[in-house]
Structure formats: C-alpha cells, structure tokens
A and B are shown apart, each in its own frame.
Chain A
C-alpha cells in the first residue's frame, strides 16, 4: 500500500531529493572542470546525512570527514554558498578558505572537518568534553569511514570517550571501499560490534537507506547516549554511487572503478531525480519504494523548479 507522507516526512523526502540534486549539480560543474580543488561526492549517502541533520539540535556539534558534502548540504539546505566555497570565492560558505575536504559551518554546528583519516575522532572527544563543561546539554556526532577505523586514533578515542563518560555518537559509514580497493582485497575484516564490546560501548547497525527508520533509530540512540553518558558507535552501510567502467590500454574491456573522488562520468543532470541504482543501495530508490512514487513527482518538480540562481 502506498505510504501517505506526513508534512514532516514530505520535508524529509524533499531534503533527500534536494541533497541528491545538488550533488548532481556539483558533479556537472566538476565535469565542466570548474573546480581547482578535489571534491569527494557522496551520492548514496543522502539517507544517513539527512537523518543526522534531522536529529541535530542547536546545541549539538557535528564533526565530519573529507566526504562531507551530503552533510554540509543537509545542514545548510542550499547549494550556492557551498558551491562558491568550492570555487574558492570570497562569498563562499567559509570565504573560500577551506574548500571541500575541510569544510565546516559553525552556524550550523559543523565545528570541525578533517581530511585526515581518523584525525577527527580525538577532536570529537575534546568537543564532547567541552559541551559537558559548558553544560550545553548538546551531543557530539562524529563521522568516519571504514578506512578510518584502521587508524590507532579510532581505538584511542573510543577508549577516551568511554573513560571520560562522554555522550558522543560515533558514526562509521562503511562503503566497503578504500579509494580503489575493496576492503576484502586489502585487510582482514574488522568486527566493529565485537570491537565496541571490548570497550563496553553500545553498537548499532543501520542498513537499507530508509531515512524515516534511520531518524527514529538515531533519535532513540541519541537519547540513550545522553542518558547513559556513554558513547555509542553506529555502523551505517552505504554505497558510494557514481562508479564507472574505465577502459585503458591495459584493460581494453574496461575495469570497474568504484567512485572515490572527482567527477563521475556516469552521473548526468539529464537523469533528473531518478535513482542512480534500482536497489536498496540507493536512498532515492528506497524513498520511491516506500512512497511507491505516490507524491514524490510533485516534490521533484518543486526542486527542479526551485533550482537556485547562479547554478
């Protein structure tokens, strides 16, 4: 049966679609060689990014990694200041001083973003303690990828968070790839749940890209985190979309390239707001499946007609 979206759910659905559309716009500019800086698109990460945005209160702090575009777009809600930042314009979100991989937005709670794997976890520990000292009643949310949990600082920071009884959500986006290598090709698997058990830290896993479910679960985990004064580690399965087959003299039949950074040749504005992949790996597909396209077309048209000036 078709899901009838509530007003709040329509807003959330719109956030997902807008996040996707804005990333496609950035990809288009990228293909037109408009940027001097590297950008890591996060097509496929929209459900978790929009969910995190929806559970954040003004007193909360968000700490991101190099692949932060979906979160920055979700927090700000518009593309233009972010695009101007990518173009290193003075009127960019941070006056063209940070570019993409370190983009923060203090007005919207994004207090630190690091392009160095694992670097941001310990900074989150400090931010979290500062919230406690300042009695802000806020929570710190820190994002990392599956590659970052290989760093010693991940272990150190979980230990510090637990030792200091700090309310922090540690969210690990697991896309199972590290640049152009699949995890299974490179290292022994890490059982993050058991890893957390070793520190007596609660672990939760999100998969399936259902934004409405994600928000409910994250709200509950956030309250749990604040009540228990303990960190919670959340592993989110994501697929970074935008892959392509690259033909080279060495690989005349083409080689699969999982998207890491730069423009994705397979993504185009002409595809509008259709899912990139018709599986649960794509949050748009999941959204359409939930709503059975009941009232998404209207939202899509609204987004396309609202295309921001200057894009």
Chain B
C-alpha cells in the first residue's frame, strides 16, 4: 500500500468516529483533495466538512475559536509554508488557551499541513521546518513516516483535547509504506523504537525514517545489528530509551532531513554527552549548499557505504 493511501484510510476511519467535528481547509473536498490526503472524508451528520476560503491566518484563529466553543476541528493545509501566515495564532492564541485549563480541555484542534519535501518547488513552497514552528511556542508536533507511527499518531493524537500539528510527507506520498513492528513507543507518541540491536543505535528525526531503516537493513547484511529509533516530534525530550540503548552500542548514527537550523538533534547530542560516552558518532544532515533554494531534489543522497565503513 502506498503511504498516501494508508494515511487517507486512517483519516477516514478516525474522522468518522466523532460527533461535532469540523474538517476545514482549502480544496479539502475538491479536485485532488490535497493530493489524496483528504479524499472521501465522511463525517457524522453533526459534523461539517468546509472547503474554506484562502485565509490561512484566519483559518488558524477559526480552529482555536471552535476549540474555545467546545467543538473539535482539523485544519488541513496543502503546504507547510501556508502555515507561516498563521504564526500569530500558533503563538499568541495558543498561549491563552493553554494557560487556561478550563479552555484547553474543552476540545481538540489539529493542523495537518503537508511537508513538501520532494523538491523542485524553487525558493518558495518547499518549507521543511516543522521544528521551527513547534519551537516558537513549544507546540506539540508530529511527523508521519511509516505504517505504525501513522496508525499510532492518527488514532491517538488527531482528535484529543488541546492543540498540535501533525505533518505527513509529500516525498513519501507515492512510496510503498514502510511496514515496521514497534519495539517501544513512549507515552506521548514522540519516540518510536522499531528494532533492537547491540552494535549501532540509529536515530531518525523529522521525516528521515526511511534513510535510517535503509541503513539498518544494509548493516544487517554486513552482520552489524542496529537499534532503530524515530523521533517524531521536534520538541520531544524523552531521551531515556535512546540513552539506555547507546550505553550498550556506543555507536550513534543520526539522520535529520529538515531544513531547519533549530532541530532536536542538538538537544539529544547534548543529553548524550552528559550521560554516556560514545565510540562513534555520525550525524547526517541536509547539506545546505549554494543551490538549496533552486528547484532541485530535496532527497538526501546518503553515502551508506561510507557510514558502514566507519562503524565497527
């Protein structure tokens, strides 16, 4: 099954469970329905699907207003950069709501913007910086990378009192979905462990899970066992399980595929430096070269063999 089919199916199941749920966003029930993300979303009679105006700032305020009024809602956005227009609400409006227990517990508001990470968009429309949005007001945020985190995050976080941002990846839309088994997931669905090994710890941030899984597969062929983690939230700080694992493997490979300077990788590395010693540390991040704003591919070319050769 393709990634987009799975995410769409999960959304269809989830949104049909709730009374008084408002789904809204531009073209969510027209045309390609955001590349298939929101196709055929059926809701109960007391709910609404609104093919909205092109008013991104106000759409964000609208969702918070519904929350204040006790109505659950989901705002779908075709591109993460559209959400830049709503930053005022993500910070100022959310800060009021989260400061008042009697309001924040009334309903759920989720924004689901697609991270356009497949490239060729040019200087605009290719924002891959969820961590910057989340960091500015410590907003709960999640990325969707495979079958299991998709199921877990959509079933647990999509409609839940409070506010969060959940981002699927456009790069993965037409890829076969990664089928994984979960070894561990923490309570707030921000850190997933899929494999447990004794030689290397692989930690994937943002939407880089597929790179980490590929490395893990290649290491296995070389007789090197690896633990595989995905950190799906830019503001997670629950590093215990990763530290425990690193105390055994003492070798770390990190993947981070966003375009942000402000990532959780540095928080993890800082934490590791306090609690365990490593024999090897490899950090693979997006190279920001002179062409990074041009219409080029956003897929990172990973030199797997070089990484494997550095590991023992």
- Name the one of B65, B96, B102 contacting A130, with C-beta atoms under 8 angstroms: B65
- Name the one of A102, A111, A112, A119 contacting B88, with C-beta atoms under 8 angstroms: A119
- Name the one of A97, A127, A160 contacting B100, with C-beta atoms under 8 angstroms: A97
Q: Does A297 contact B (CB under 8 A)?
A: no
Nearest Cβ distance between residue B132 and chain A, in whole angstroms?
A: 20
State A73–B144 Cα separation when bound (angstroms): 48
Q: Does B70 contact A (CB under 8 A)?
A: yes
Q: Does A51 contact B (CB under 8 A)?
A: no
Q: Does B289 contact A (CB under 8 A)?
A: no
Stretch of B46-54, B177-185, B187-195, B259-267 on the interface side: B46-54
Contacts of A126 in B (CB 8 A): 61-69, 71, 73
State A97–B103 Cα separation when bound (angstroms): 13
State A157–B59 Cα separation when bound (angstroms): 9
Complex interface bits, B73-111 against A, C-beta within 8 A gives 1, otherwise 0: 100000000000000110011001001101100000000
Q: Does A258 contact B (CB under 8 A)?
A: no
Contacts of A114 in B (CB 8 A): 92-93, 96
- Name the one of A116, A125, A156 contacting B65, with C-beta atoms under 8 angstroms: A125
Which residue, of B60, B93, B102, has the highest number of chain A Cβ atoms within 10 A? B93
In the complex, are the beta carbons of B57 and A156 less than 8 A apart?
yes
Q: Does A121 contact B (CB under 8 A)?
A: yes
| Closest chain B residue to A163, Cβ basis | B53
Q: Does A159 contact B (CB under 8 A)?
A: yes
List residues 99-138 of chain A with CB under 8 A from any CB of chain B: 102, 104, 106, 111-116, 119-131, 133-134
Nearest Cβ distance between residue A62 and chain B, in whole angstroms?
A: 12
Given A104-B100, A106-B102, A129-B65, A134:B58 Cβ within 8 A: no
Q: Does A240 contact B (CB under 8 A)?
A: no
The secondary structure that dominates the B interface is helix
In the complex, are the beta carbons of A116 and B69 less than 8 A apart?
no
| Closest chain A residue to B69, Cβ basis | A130
| Closest chain B residue to A112, Cβ basis | B68
In the complex, are the beta carbons of B22 and A152 less than 8 A apart?
no
List residues 35-90 of chain A with CB under 8 A from any CB of chain B: 61
Q: Does A241 contact B (CB under 8 A)?
A: no
Which residue, of A122, A153, A157, A159, has the highest number of chain B Cβ atoms within 10 A? A122
Given A119-B92, A133-B46, A127:B69 Cβ within 8 A: yes
Which residue, of A104, A133, A153, A160, has the highest number of chain B Cβ atoms within 10 A? A133
- Name the one of A112, A159, A164 contacting B96, with C-beta atoms under 8 angstroms: A112
In the complex, are the beta carbons of B102 and A123 less than 8 A apart?
no
Q: Does A98 contact B (CB under 8 A)?
A: yes
Given A123-B61, A125-B62, A130:B71 Cβ within 8 A: yes
In the complex, are the beta carbons of A129 and B57 less than 8 A apart?
no
Which residue, of A104, A111, A124, A129, has the highest number of chain B Cβ atoms within 10 A? A129
Q: Does A93 contact B (CB under 8 A)?
A: no
Q: Does A267 contact B (CB under 8 A)?
A: no
Nearest Cβ distance between residue B15 and chain A, in whole angstroms?
A: 15
The secondary structure that dominates the A interface is helix
Given A114-B92, A133-B22, A134-B69, A122:B53 Cβ within 8 A: no
In the complex, are the beta carbons of B65 and A127 less than 8 A apart?
yes
Q: Does B214 contact A (CB under 8 A)?
A: no
Given A133-B22, A157-B58, A122:B89 Cβ within 8 A: yes
Q: Does A94 contact B (CB under 8 A)?
A: yes
Which residue, of A111, A112, A131, has the highest number of chain B Cβ atoms within 10 A? A112
Contacts of B50 in A (CB 8 A): 164
Using C-beta atoms within 8 Å of the partner chain, give the interface range for chain A.
35 or more
- Name the one of B53, B59, B61, B69 contacting A131, with C-beta atoms under 8 angstroms: B69
Contacts of A133 in B (CB 8 A): 20, 22, 46, 48, 69, 71
- Name the one of B60, B99, B100 contacting A122, with C-beta atoms under 8 angstroms: B60
Given A97-B100, A98-B99, A129-B22, A122:B59 Cβ within 8 A: yes
Contacts of A160 in B (CB 8 A): 52-53, 55, 58, 62
Nearest Cβ distance between residue B30 and chain A, in whole angstroms?
A: 15
In the complex, are the beta carbons of B70 and A153 less than 8 A apart?
no
Contacts of A131 in B (CB 8 A): 69
In the complex, are the beta carbons of B69 and A153 less than 8 A apart?
no
State A104–B100 Cα separation when bound (angstroms): 10
Contacts of A116 in B (CB 8 A): 88, 92
Contacts of B48 in A (CB 8 A): 133
State A114–B95 Cα separation when bound (angstroms): 11
Contacts of A129 in B (CB 8 A): 22, 62, 65-66, 69, 71
State A21–B16 Cα separation when bound (angstroms): 54
State A127–B71 Cα separation when bound (angstroms): 9
Nearest Cβ distance between residue A81 and chain B, in whole angstroms?
A: 16
Complex interface bits, A133-153 against B, C-beta within 8 A gives 1, otherwise 0: 110000000000000000011
Contacts of B63 in A (CB 8 A): 126
Contacts of B65 in A (CB 8 A): 112, 122-130
Complex interface bits, A178-197 against B, C-beta within 8 A gives 1, otherwise 0: 00000000000000000000
In the complex, are the beta carbons of B70 and A130 less than 8 A apart?
yes
Known: A122-B61, A126-B61, A156-B53; 16 extra A-B contacts, CB below 8 A, are A94-B100, A104-B100, A106-B103, A113-B96, A114-B92, A116-B92, A119-B89, A120-B61, A122-B65, A123-B64, A123-B68, A126-B62, A130-B71, A133-B48, A159-B53, A160-B58
In the complex, the 4 A-B pairs of residues with the closest C-beta atoms, listed nearest first: A126-B65, A130-B69, A122-B61, A122-B58
Interface residues of B (CB under 8 A from A): 20, 22, 46, 48, 50, 52-53, 55, 57-71, 73, 88-89, 92-93, 96, 99-100, 102-103
Sample (9) of A-B pairs whose CB atoms are under 8 Å apart? A122-B89, A123-B68, A125-B65, A126-B62, A126-B68, A126-B71, A127-B66, A129-B62, A133-B48
